[in-house]
Amino acid sequence: NAGVTQTPKFRVLKTGQSMTLLCAQDMNHEYMYWYRQDPGMGLRLIHYSVGEGTTAKGEVPDGYNVSRLKKQNFLLGLESAAPSQTSVYFCASSYGLGGSGANVLTFGAGSRLTVL
Amino acid sequence: GESVGLHLPTLSVQEGDNSIINCAYSNSASDYFIWYKQESGKGPQFIIDIRSNMDKRQGQRVTVLLNKTVKHLSLQIAATQPGDSAVYFCAEKGGSGGSNYKLTFGKGTLLTVNP
Protein backbone atom coordinates (compact mmCIF):
# COMPACT_ATOMS: atom_id res chain seq x y z
CA ASN A 1 0.00 0.00 0.00
CA ALA A 2 1.94 3.03 -1.30
CA GLY A 3 -0.59 5.72 -0.32
CA VAL A 4 -0.16 8.83 -2.48
CA THR A 5 2.68 8.86 -4.99
CA GLN A 6 3.81 11.98 -6.83
CA THR A 7 6.12 12.14 -9.83
CA PRO A 8 8.48 13.73 -10.50
CA LYS A 9 9.97 14.70 -7.13
CA PHE A 10 12.09 17.47 -8.63
CA ARG A 11 11.93 19.39 -11.87
CA VAL A 12 13.55 22.49 -13.33
CA LEU A 13 11.75 24.28 -16.15
CA LYS A 14 12.45 27.30 -18.27
CA THR A 15 9.83 30.03 -18.53
CA GLY A 16 7.23 29.10 -21.12
CA GLN A 17 7.80 25.33 -20.96
CA SER A 18 5.00 22.97 -20.13
CA MET A 19 4.87 19.97 -17.86
CA THR A 20 2.54 17.62 -16.02
CA LEU A 21 2.75 16.50 -12.41
CA LEU A 22 1.35 13.05 -11.80
CA CYS A 23 -0.44 11.92 -8.66
CA ALA A 24 -1.58 8.37 -7.99
CA GLN A 25 -3.37 6.95 -4.95
CA ASP A 26 -4.14 3.32 -4.16
CA MET A 27 -6.62 3.85 -1.31
CA ASN A 28 -9.76 4.09 -3.46
CA HIS A 29 -10.30 7.66 -2.26
CA GLU A 30 -13.02 9.72 -3.91
CA TYR A 31 -11.53 13.17 -3.36
CA MET A 32 -8.18 14.38 -4.63
CA TYR A 33 -6.46 17.75 -4.29
CA TRP A 34 -3.49 19.72 -5.53
CA TYR A 35 -1.91 22.25 -3.15
CA ARG A 36 1.11 24.48 -3.51
CA GLN A 37 3.31 25.43 -0.59
CA ASP A 38 5.38 28.59 -0.56
CA PRO A 39 7.49 29.98 2.33
CA GLY A 40 5.32 31.91 4.76
CA MET A 41 2.15 31.17 2.77
CA GLY A 42 1.12 27.80 4.09
CA LEU A 43 -0.74 25.43 1.77
CA ARG A 44 -3.00 26.89 -0.90
CA LEU A 45 -5.51 24.84 -2.86
CA ILE A 46 -5.04 24.94 -6.64
CA HIS A 47 -7.67 22.50 -7.92
CA TYR A 48 -9.57 19.56 -6.53
CA SER A 49 -11.76 16.68 -7.66
CA VAL A 50 -14.68 15.03 -5.91
CA GLY A 51 -14.78 12.07 -8.26
CA GLU A 52 -13.64 10.54 -11.51
CA GLY A 53 -14.29 12.90 -14.40
CA THR A 54 -14.94 15.96 -12.21
CA THR A 55 -12.64 18.85 -11.29
CA ALA A 56 -13.09 22.25 -9.66
CA LYS A 57 -11.06 25.37 -8.98
CA GLY A 58 -9.51 26.13 -5.63
CA GLU A 59 -7.97 29.35 -4.29
CA VAL A 60 -5.16 29.78 -6.83
CA PRO A 61 -6.14 28.00 -10.09
CA ASP A 62 -4.72 30.47 -12.63
CA GLY A 63 -1.98 29.01 -14.83
CA TYR A 64 -2.87 25.40 -13.99
CA ASN A 65 -5.13 22.74 -15.44
CA VAL A 66 -6.10 19.35 -14.07
CA SER A 67 -7.66 16.10 -15.19
CA ARG A 68 -9.13 13.12 -13.35
CA LEU A 69 -9.73 10.53 -16.06
CA LYS A 70 -9.26 7.64 -13.64
CA LYS A 71 -10.28 7.55 -10.00
CA GLN A 72 -6.78 6.77 -8.81
CA ASN A 73 -4.97 9.49 -10.79
CA PHE A 74 -5.04 13.28 -10.63
CA LEU A 75 -2.86 15.22 -13.06
CA LEU A 76 -1.73 18.83 -12.67
CA GLY A 77 -0.59 20.62 -15.82
CA LEU A 78 1.32 23.82 -16.38
CA GLU A 79 0.85 24.94 -19.98
CA SER A 80 3.32 27.82 -19.94
CA ALA A 81 5.43 27.87 -16.78
CA ALA A 82 6.24 31.17 -15.06
CA PRO A 83 8.77 31.92 -12.30
CA SER A 84 5.82 32.64 -9.95
CA GLN A 85 4.97 28.94 -10.21
CA THR A 86 8.22 27.96 -8.50
CA SER A 87 6.93 26.08 -5.49
CA VAL A 88 6.52 22.73 -3.78
CA TYR A 89 3.39 20.97 -4.98
CA PHE A 90 1.51 18.50 -2.85
CA CYS A 91 -1.14 16.08 -3.97
CA ALA A 92 -3.59 14.73 -1.39
CA SER A 93 -6.60 12.46 -1.28
CA SER A 94 -9.42 11.69 1.15
CA TYR A 95 -12.43 9.41 1.48
CA GLY A 96 -14.82 12.32 1.31
CA LEU A 97 -17.64 10.44 3.00
CA GLY A 98 -19.03 13.62 4.53
CA GLY A 99 -18.81 14.68 8.14
CA SER A 100 -15.23 14.25 9.30
CA GLY A 101 -14.24 11.88 6.50
CA ALA A 102 -12.88 14.67 4.34
CA ASN A 103 -10.82 16.09 7.23
CA VAL A 104 -8.21 13.36 6.93
CA LEU A 105 -6.12 14.10 3.89
CA THR A 106 -3.32 11.73 2.91
CA PHE A 107 -0.55 13.74 1.31
CA GLY A 108 2.17 12.74 -1.08
CA ALA A 109 5.81 13.59 -0.42
CA GLY A 110 5.74 16.65 -2.67
CA SER A 111 7.17 17.75 -6.01
CA ARG A 112 9.64 20.63 -6.00
CA LEU A 113 9.34 22.70 -9.16
CA THR A 114 11.72 25.50 -10.12
CA VAL A 115 10.94 27.77 -13.06
CA LEU A 116 13.89 29.80 -14.35
CA GLY B 1 -11.93 36.15 2.05
CA GLU B 2 -11.87 34.62 5.49
CA SER B 3 -8.69 32.97 6.65
CA VAL B 4 -7.06 30.92 9.35
CA GLY B 5 -4.00 32.43 11.02
CA LEU B 6 -1.49 31.73 13.76
CA HIS B 7 -0.34 33.80 16.73
CA LEU B 8 3.28 32.58 16.82
CA PRO B 9 5.37 31.57 13.84
CA THR B 10 7.98 29.71 15.98
CA LEU B 11 7.94 27.88 19.29
CA SER B 12 10.92 26.37 21.09
CA VAL B 13 10.44 24.00 24.03
CA GLN B 14 12.51 21.65 26.14
CA GLU B 15 12.06 17.92 25.76
CA GLY B 16 9.51 16.69 28.26
CA ASP B 17 7.69 20.02 28.55
CA ASN B 18 4.17 20.56 27.30
CA SER B 19 3.72 22.58 24.09
CA ILE B 20 0.82 24.80 23.15
CA ILE B 21 0.37 25.93 19.56
CA ASN B 22 -2.26 28.58 18.92
CA CYS B 23 -4.41 29.49 15.97
CA ALA B 24 -6.89 32.31 15.39
CA TYR B 25 -9.68 31.85 12.89
CA SER B 26 -12.16 34.28 11.42
CA ASN B 27 -14.79 32.06 9.74
CA SER B 28 -17.21 31.38 12.58
CA ALA B 29 -19.33 29.25 10.24
CA SER B 30 -16.64 26.55 9.75
CA ASP B 31 -17.87 23.15 10.89
CA TYR B 32 -14.52 21.48 11.55
CA PHE B 33 -11.09 22.59 12.69
CA ILE B 34 -8.13 20.35 12.03
CA TRP B 35 -4.45 20.11 12.96
CA TYR B 36 -1.73 18.77 10.66
CA LYS B 37 1.97 18.11 11.31
CA GLN B 38 4.61 18.48 8.62
CA GLU B 39 8.09 17.11 9.18
CA SER B 40 10.97 18.42 7.13
CA GLY B 41 10.89 17.12 3.56
CA LYS B 42 7.54 15.36 3.95
CA GLY B 43 3.90 16.01 3.25
CA PRO B 44 1.57 17.10 6.08
CA GLN B 45 0.03 14.42 8.30
CA PHE B 46 -3.35 14.57 10.00
CA ILE B 47 -3.16 14.81 13.80
CA ILE B 48 -6.61 15.52 15.16
CA ASP B 49 -9.82 17.35 14.36
CA ILE B 50 -12.64 18.91 16.33
CA ARG B 51 -16.18 19.65 15.32
CA SER B 52 -17.43 23.17 15.86
CA ASN B 53 -20.03 22.05 18.43
CA MET B 54 -17.30 20.72 20.74
CA ASP B 55 -14.81 22.63 22.88
CA LYS B 56 -12.27 19.91 23.63
CA ARG B 57 -11.05 16.72 22.09
CA GLN B 58 -8.21 14.48 23.23
CA GLY B 59 -5.98 12.13 21.30
CA GLN B 60 -2.77 10.34 22.08
CA ARG B 61 -0.61 12.97 23.86
CA VAL B 62 -2.51 15.74 22.07
CA THR B 63 -5.50 17.84 23.04
CA VAL B 64 -7.30 20.34 20.86
CA LEU B 65 -9.25 23.16 22.46
CA LEU B 66 -11.77 25.31 20.65
CA ASN B 67 -12.96 28.65 22.03
CA LYS B 68 -15.66 29.93 19.74
CA THR B 69 -16.22 33.08 21.79
CA VAL B 70 -12.82 34.45 20.84
CA LYS B 71 -12.39 32.34 17.68
CA HIS B 72 -9.32 30.59 19.00
CA LEU B 73 -8.01 27.07 18.46
CA SER B 74 -5.06 25.47 20.24
CA LEU B 75 -3.12 22.22 20.07
CA GLN B 76 -1.54 20.98 23.26
CA ILE B 77 1.18 18.36 23.08
CA ALA B 78 2.04 16.62 26.34
CA ALA B 79 5.60 15.58 27.21
CA THR B 80 7.01 16.94 23.97
CA GLN B 81 9.59 14.72 22.29
CA PRO B 82 12.28 15.46 19.68
CA GLY B 83 10.11 13.65 17.13
CA ASP B 84 7.46 16.32 17.62
CA SER B 85 9.72 18.90 15.98
CA ALA B 86 7.85 19.97 12.86
CA VAL B 87 5.65 22.67 11.37
CA TYR B 88 2.09 22.52 12.65
CA PHE B 89 -0.81 23.80 10.57
CA CYS B 90 -4.32 24.50 11.64
CA ALA B 91 -7.03 24.21 9.02
CA GLU B 92 -10.75 24.80 8.77
CA LYS B 93 -13.43 23.16 6.71
CA GLY B 94 -16.91 24.01 5.64
CA GLY B 95 -19.03 26.95 6.64
CA SER B 96 -20.17 30.02 4.75
CA GLY B 97 -18.42 30.25 1.38
CA GLY B 98 -16.67 26.95 2.02
CA SER B 99 -17.58 23.36 1.34
CA ASN B 100 -17.64 19.97 2.94
CA TYR B 101 -14.45 18.82 1.27
CA LYS B 102 -12.08 21.77 1.02
CA LEU B 103 -9.62 22.59 3.75
CA THR B 104 -8.20 26.10 4.22
CA PHE B 105 -4.81 25.99 5.90
CA GLY B 106 -3.10 28.53 8.10
CA LYS B 107 0.51 29.58 7.59
CA GLY B 108 2.03 27.20 10.13
CA THR B 109 4.03 27.27 13.38
CA LEU B 110 7.51 25.79 13.61
CA LEU B 111 7.94 23.76 16.79
CA THR B 112 11.51 23.00 17.83
CA VAL B 113 12.13 20.58 20.69
CA ASN B 114 15.47 20.99 22.45
CA PRO B 115 16.99 17.87 24.06
A4 pairs with which residues across the strands? Answer: A25
Which chain A residue has its CA at the smallest distance from B107's CA? A42
Which chain B residue has its CA at the smallest distance from A40's CA? B107
- Write out the residue range of the structural domain in which residue A93 sits: 4-115
Q: Does A104 touch chain B (CB under 8 A)?
A: yes
Total length of chain A: 116
Whichever domain contains A68, its CATH number is 2.60.40.10
A103 or A96, which is more confident? A103
Q: What is the pLDDT of residue A98?
A: 59
Q: How many CB pairs under 8 A join A and B?
A: 59
Using an 8 Å CB-CB cutoff, list chain A residues near B39.
none
What is the least distance, in Å, from the CA of A59 to any CA of chain B?
A: 9
Q: Return the amino acid letter for B35.
A: W
Q: What is the pLDDT of residue B96?
A: 55
Q: Does A88 touch chain B (CB under 8 A)?
A: no
What is the maximal distance between C-alpha atoms in chain B? 44
Distance in angstroms (rounded) separating the CA atoms of residues A112 and A37: 10
CB A22 within 8 A of CB A77: no
Mean pLDDT, residues A98-115 taken together? 88
Q: Domains in chain A: how many in total?
A: 1
The residue ranges of every structural domain in chain B are 4-96
Distance in angstroms (rounded) separating the CA atoms of residues A53 and A59: 20
Total length of chain B: 115
**Which class does domain B4-96 fall in?**
mainly beta
Using an 8 Å CB-CB cutoff, list chain B residues near A21.
none
Q: Do A92 and B43 touch (CB under 8 A)?
A: yes
Task: Dump pLDDT digits (tens) for A33-57.
Answer: 999 999 877 899 999 999 999 999 9
Q: What is the pLDDT of residue B6?
A: 42
What three-state secondary structure class fits B113? strand
Q: Give pLDDT < 50 ranges for chain B.
A: 1-3, 6-8
